[in-house]
Structure 1
């Protein structure tokens, strides 16, 4: 980052060089794109002033600087300096790249929530805004991890679950390179090499072919407990590279759809709904003692009974809003959501009783038809890969993650259940068929009795 400054800065010793404050201001100017005031000299007063300017700028951007003071930076305390640098990189680089939904920090009102007290629409306090930002920081980390998973999932058995041991073999780095620039990597050969060989190869290719600075050495990663923040910072460079890739015609279509979505009704209503639900969940705590009480209606006072009735109405209204919101999803997500809701309904119902296997088979066939209509079958979701879709185009990613999660739940929870039921159903029908066939061994004396048997059959 420092090399991108004009004029470029040079670091010989981070803990010493940062004490003057110029290095810190250079870094912030590169990452923020803003010109910051500074003292040009290098005496104690001027260095202190520059560091104060940098910290003041960060605080104005609502960054939490816990136990980071001017005196600690002037002394070059390693833990303080590294903590500060990580905070800056995370906020200005990783967060910006892995921008997910959470709401923007201004909280709009929900105009469909007129039935709820107007206090739910009040502006948020600074303390509450800080809490929202802290939750957003966590989601930014998850967003980057999810992006990395998406890249690696295209190459078989390369799994990424964290920013530590998952990267030790070097295969995850190579898989991301192969996804971004197909043909640069031979993953089959890589699987037979050592960790250090793979890491060395990945860092070499990334530097030469993708122009990604070599921020790590194999020895930094191929250890029992590699530094999570270092790996995150390096992986973010690949995300930056992918963002700068030229867009295909298909990507442009997705882009236009998402921009339309951001400017449209669904995106706005979704933010409003999230804002309302956040307030609602905080405010409902005061009512929980009454609402969660196991006492019967007769044991409650008249006021408490009325509270329960009104609460039921509020919950019903919220569920209606959620249904209407899902109906506003852009194509093809609205058909995917409708299918998921139908499957959820089927999951909640009991399978047909096997006492009447022929009737049960008819109902079961209807269930199977619904499951076979999954949008995955006609590959609709492939046009909305998660690493392209939500993070920087503005579509609420929680909805995409929710859809993917539901697909996963359906896949894992229903397969064995349906297979066992189908086996039992086929056995029951086979028994019925054998019973019917055995009856044909009996001689019937009249034409009418045979016709009756055929009709029943």
Structure 2
């Protein structure tokens, strides 16, 4: 069940990014479509704003080459791809594919956002600069700061949690202590929306609704009013 939910959410996220690529594309089966390598390269091009080398065909050699190019690009950004190999992606192994996509999400979205927030909170464990130099010189410099970047995975999560707590603290009786059970009621999502755009939701009415109703409302409002892609479904 957890794997199915992750696959569905990651597929929605990837499609929301691929829609911005030129030309746009869409995937239907994450494990199968990623095997060609083009999906990975398209995804990374949109996220990084860089043009990546690729083989244009779809035979085994070309697919392998494209996946290798994608993984090399990530490694040059000092991402640790533990137990993630080209052969596993070509075979579409679920745990490997999901792990790779989560690593990409964490690096390009969560870490980048956390660094911005960390500057706001003056946390020294995160760099305030969001510019990444992928040149050989920049790569060497990035490796020197690998120990600091290792702390990002912990610090980024803590920073985001601190931010979420702060937004929800503006609305009484909506505690947030983690990224798990605290969000089941849907109230934290609605509280953050209310903080960002006052008047979009009614928190008092939400407190009388079911968890599922609140989650549906939060995802609907976020998509319609804030242009945030709907990646999750209430389960």
Tell me how far apart the structure 1 counterparts of residues 133 and 180 of structure 2 sit (CA, whole Å).
Answer: 47
User: Contact 1:170–1:195 at 8 Å: present in 2 too?
Assistant: yes
Tell me how far apart the structure 1 counterparts of residues 132 and 30 of structure 2 sit (CA, whole Å).
Answer: 54
1:116 Cα deviation after fit: 32
1:115 Cα deviation after fit: 34
User: Contact 1:37–1:53 at 8 Å: present in 2 too?
Assistant: yes
Cα distance, 1:65–1:105 mapped onto 2, change above 3 Å:
farther
1:9 Cα deviation after fit: 1.4
Larger Rg belongs to? 1
The answer to whether 1:58 aligns with 2:44 is no
The count of aligned residue pairs is 218
Tell me how far apart the structure 1 counterparts of residues 187 and 130 of structure 2 sit (CA, whole Å).
Answer: 53
1:4 Cα deviation after fit: 1.3
1:89 Cα deviation after fit: 0.9
Tell me how far apart the structure 1 counterparts of residues 129 and 92 of structure 2 sit (CA, whole Å).
Answer: 53
1:110 Cα deviation after fit: 18
Cα distance, 1:199–1:49 mapped onto 2, change above 3 Å:
same
1:193 Cα deviation after fit: 0.6
What TM-score does the superposition give when structure 1 sets the normalisation length?
0.42
Cα distance, 1:126–1:216 mapped onto 2, change above 3 Å:
closer
In structure 2, stretches of 5+ residues that fail to align are: 1-16
User: Contact 2:165–2:176 at 8 Å: present in 1 too?
Assistant: yes
User: Contact 1:151–1:179 at 8 Å: present in 2 too?
Assistant: yes
1:75 Cα deviation after fit: 0.2
Cα distance, 1:110–1:75 mapped onto 2, change above 3 Å:
closer
Larger mean Cα displacement after TM superposition, 107-116 or 83-92: 107-116
Alpha-carbon displacement from aligned partner over 1:9-52 (angstroms, at most 9, x marks no partner): 11110000000000000110111111100011000000000000
User: Contact 1:100–1:140 at 8 Å: present in 2 too?
Assistant: no
Larger mean Cα displacement after TM superposition, 121-130 or 203-212: 121-130
Alpha-carbon displacement from aligned partner over 1:335-363 (angstroms, at most 9, x marks no partner): xxxxxxxxxxxxxxxxxxxxxxxxxxxxx
Tell me how far apart the structure 1 counterparts of residues 192 and 102 of structure 2 sit (CA, whole Å).
Answer: 23
Alpha-carbon displacement from aligned partner over 1:263-290 (angstroms, at most 9, x marks no partner): xxxxxxxxxxxxxxxxxxxxxxxxxxxx
Tell me how far apart the structure 1 counterparts of residues 27 and 131 of structure 2 sit (CA, whole Å).
Answer: 60
Tell me how far apart the structure 1 counterparts of residues 160 and 86 of structure 2 sit (CA, whole Å).
Answer: 31
Aligned-residue CA RMSD (Å): 6.9
User: Contact 2:18–2:46 at 8 Å: present in 1 too?
Assistant: yes
Tell me how far apart the structure 2 counterparts of residues 80 and 145 of structure 1 sit (CA, whole Å).
Answer: 27
User: Contact 1:95–1:137 at 8 Å: present in 2 too?
Assistant: yes
Tell me how far apart the structure 1 counterparts of residues 221 and 197 of structure 2 sit (CA, whole Å).
Answer: 10
1:159 Cα deviation after fit: 1.1
Partner of 1:67: 83
1:130 Cα deviation after fit: 2.3
1:145 Cα deviation after fit: 1.1
In structure 1, stretches of 5+ residues that fail to align are: 219-457
1:111 Cα deviation after fit: 20
Alpha-carbon displacement from aligned partner over 1:377-429 (angstroms, at most 9, x marks no partner): xxxxxxxxxxxxxxxxxxxxxxxxxxxxxxxxxxxxxxxxxxxxxxxxxxxxx
Partner of 1:33: 49
1:136 Cα deviation after fit: 2.1
Tell me how far apart the structure 2 counterparts of residues 36 and 113 of structure 1 sit (CA, whole Å).
Answer: 23
Tell me how far apart the structure 2 counterparts of residues 44 and 207 of structure 1 sit (CA, whole Å).
Answer: 39
Cα distance, 1:73–1:167 mapped onto 2, change above 3 Å:
same
SS class of match (1:118): coil
User: Contact 1:2–1:30 at 8 Å: present in 2 too?
Assistant: yes
User: Contact 1:152–1:175 at 8 Å: present in 2 too?
Assistant: yes
**Matching residue within 79, 84, 92 for 2:108:** 92
Larger mean Cα displacement after TM superposition, 44-53 or 115-124: 115-124
